[in-house]
Amino acid sequence: MREMTEFLGREYEEMEKQGLTWVIKSLNGPSQPHVEVEGKKCIMLASNNYLNLANHPKLREAAIKAIEKYGAGAGSDWSIAGTMDIHMELYKKIAEFKGTEDAVTFQTGFAANAGLIPQLAGKGDLLISDELNHGSIIDGVRLSKAERAVYPHSDMGALEKVLEEANKKDYRRVIILTDGVFSMDGDIAKMDEIHKLAEEYRAMIYVDDAHGEGVLGDGHGIGRHFDLEKEIHFQIGTFSKAFGSFGGMLAGSSDLIKFAYNKSRTWLLSAAFPPHVAAANIAALEVVEKEKDRVKRLWDNTKYFKKEIESLGYDTGNSQTPIVPTIVGDSKKAKQLAEKLYEEGIFALAIVYPMVARDKARIRNQMNADFNREDLDTILNVYEKLGKELKIV
Ligand SMILES: *Cc1c(COP(=O)(O)O)cnc(C)c1O
């Protein structure tokens, strides 16, 4: 018999049985190193707000001023009547910041990938994607009519084989797509090697630097980190992570930007983000440029935490960035650890299958520029205690 809505409850129950449902805990105030979560004071270890800009006075002030001048909404799609001068100012600012000819924003990083990738490649083209790429890249690739190949995570030998095979066929375009920083392990894409291969095999490079901006290359991202700002053809990013605000971005040549906003359906058919978001984003880039110490503090904290948590016996995998996972193996154990951390006043997220392999469940710890030593030592002491209690270390 044809199904009606019973499948909703049934599928939810199945997910619940497997421990795969999200249990949302809400914050009672701003996202910052010390937060209140459901009435409980916690150290925030699960946010992407690496530089602690989400509640920075300069961003708040810029947003409030913009609301006073422009109102609360943009009033239309970007393409029709929703683009305000403050959005244009932001595009210029991003291009400067990224060292590219031009830039444009999207509602989110997700919308940038979903809207742009299907336009860059179609029939007769090949998209080559790292197996651990973010879901929005995966969805963008799925929306394209191009052929696709997936290579094992950061395996440059495997990538070269795909490129070699590709050169035996007559593809019109070949694009390699990768995250800049991988969000579950915190490792950095081997952009220098990808760049060499791309040159050798005549492929283009598409990087989504969501977790790399504000973090790598003095905050300017993976392009600056590898000194390849002008060589990466398509640079996607977001203001929702280290920049503490909201909205996706694309930086690259002026041809790319004109192409993008005439072709991307998520840009053409969806509203511009509100003007105060543009204002906060401009302020975020200014703060990163002015307060250079922020990125440095983030890295100092990262190095200290990584060294100390490893010396307690925790496995941090391939972490090279402020994403420092503690891999505990079993999903149930990871969830149990997250619960106990919360009881101890530390808000951290358990990442389990299918986001990572079944035997690689973990807590994803994310560092913050504004943690002080006392915060970090509090976290480490709790980890030491719980590690013994749960027989992890
Ligand atoms: C977080 C993330 C996104 C999503 O960015 P939003 O602006 O929040 O939609 C896209 N790509 C990657 C690689 C990410 O890590």
pLDDT in tens, 253-308: 999 999 999 999 999 999 999 999 999 999 999 999 999 999 999 999 999 999 99
**The pLDDT of residue 6 is above 90:** yes
**Residue 22: what pLDDT?**
84
Please compute the mean of the pLDDT values over residues 82-109 and round it to a whole number.
Answer: 97
C-alpha separations of 294 from 246, 366, 369 in Å? 19, 15, 6
* Structure tokens, 175: 């694009």
Q: Do 223 and 337 reside in the same domain of the chain?
A: no
State whether 194 and 243 are in the same domain.
yes
On whether the CB atoms of residues 319 and 306 are closer than 8 A, the answer is: yes
Q: Which residues are catalytic?
A: 183, 211, 241
Pairwise CA distance, residues 11 & 13, whole Å: 5
Identify each DSSP E strand in the chain by its residue range. Answer: 34-37, 40-44, 102-106, 126-130, 147-151, 174-179, 204-208, 234-238, 248-252, 323-329, 346-347, 349-351, 361-366
Cα of 240 to ligand 1 centre, how many Å?
8
Ligand 1 center–CA 49 separation, angstroms: 13
pLDDT digits (tens, 9 = 90+) for 180-229: 999 999 999 999 999 999 999 999 999 999 999 999 999 999 999 999 99
Which pLDDT band, with edges at 50, 70 and 90, does 18 fall under? Answer: confident
- 208 Cα nearest atom in ligand 1: 13
Residue where a domain stops, chosen among 290, 325, 355: 290
SS3 350: strand
| CA 357 – ligand 1 centroid, Å | 21
Could you tell me if residue 265 is inside a domain?
yes
Which residue range(s) make up the domain with 159?
57-290
Residue 1 lies in a domain: no
Q: Are residues 196 and 345 in the same domain?
A: no
Tell me: pLDDT of 327 over 80: yes
pLDDT exceeds cutoff 80 at 19: no
Residues 117 and 238 in one domain: yes
The mean pLDDT of 20-41, rounded to a whole number, is 94
Rounded to the nearest angstrom, the distance between the alpha carbon of 307 and the centre of ligand 1 is 28
**CB of 210 sitting under 6 A from ligand 1:** yes
Shared-domain flag, residues 240 and 100: yes
68 shares a domain with 50: no
Whether 24 and 172 map to the same domain: the answer is: no
Residue nearest to atom 15 of ligand 1 (CA): 210
Q: Which pair of structure tokens corresponds to residue 391?
A: 């027989």
Closest CA to 129 of 155, 165, 96, 103: 155
pLDDT-based confidence at residue 20 (cuts at 50, 70, 90) = confident
- What would the mean pLDDT of 153-169 be, rounded to a whole number? 97
DSSP SS3 for 160: helix
Atom of ligand 1 minimally distant from the CA of 246:
7
Burial of 307 (0-12, 13-18, 19+ CB in 10 A): exposed
- pLDDT score of 23: 85
For the cut 90, the answer to whether the pLDDT of residue 21 exceeds it is: no
Question: What pTM value is reported for the model?
Answer: 0.96
With a pLDDT cut of 90, the percent of the chain lying above it is 95
Cα 321–323–325 angle (5° rounding)? 120
Residues 49, 28: one domain? yes
Same domain, 223 and 257: yes
State what percent of residues in the chain have pLDDT above 70.
Answer: 100
Going by pLDDT thresholds of 50, 70 and 90, the confidence category of residue 380 is very high
CATH number of the domain enclosing 342: 3.90.1150.10
- The CATH code of the domain that includes 210 is 3.40.640.10
Whether residue 325 sits in one domain with residue 311: yes
Distances (CA, A) of 27 to 24, 30, 65, 211: 10, 7, 25, 22
Does residue 355 register a pLDDT over 90?
A: no
**Residue 353: predicted pLDDT:** 86
Structure tokens at 233: 């053809």
Query: In the listed set 290, 322, 342, which residue is the last one of a domain according to the structure?
Result: 290
Atom of ligand 1 nearest to the CA of 134: 13
State how many domains the chain has. 2
Taking the centre of ligand 1 as the mean of its atom positions, its distance from the CA of residue 75, in whole angstroms, is 25
Of 14-28, 35-49, 120-134, 254-268, which gets the smallest average pLDDT?
14-28
In which residue are the tokens 């019973």 written? 6
Q: 299 exposed, middle or buried (CB, 10 Å; 0-12, 13-18, 19+)?
A: middle
Is the beta carbon of 109 within 6 A of some atom in ligand 1?
yes
Q: What is residue 354's predicted lDDT score, i.e. its pLDDT?
A: 84
What is the edge-to-edge ordering of all strands in the sheet holding 40-44? Answer: 34-37, 40-44, 346-347
Q: What is the pLDDT of residue 131?
A: 96
67, amino acid identity = I
**What is the arithmetic mean of pLDDT over 234-257?**
98
Of 8, 92, 18, give the one whose Cα is nearest residue 278: 92
Same domain for 286 and 299, yes or no, is: no
Amino acid at 38: E
The whole-chain average pLDDT of the chain stands at 97
Q: Residue 110: CB within 6 Å of ligand 1?
A: yes
Task: Give yes or no: residues 169 and 318 share one domain.
Answer: no
Which atom of ligand 1 lies at the shortest distance from residue 181's CA? 13
Q: Residue whose CA is closest, atom 6 of ligand 1? A: 109
pLDDT band with cut points at 50, 70 and 90 for residue 14 = very high
Give the pLDDT confidence score for residue 2 in this predicted structure: 95
Q: What is the DSSP string of 184-235?
A: TT-PBP-HHHHHHHHHHHT-EEEEE-TTTTTTSGGGT-HHHHTT-TTT-SEE
Final residue in a domain of this structure, among 242, 260, 290: 290
Instruction: Work out the pLDDT band at 97, boundaries 50, 70, 90.
Output: very high
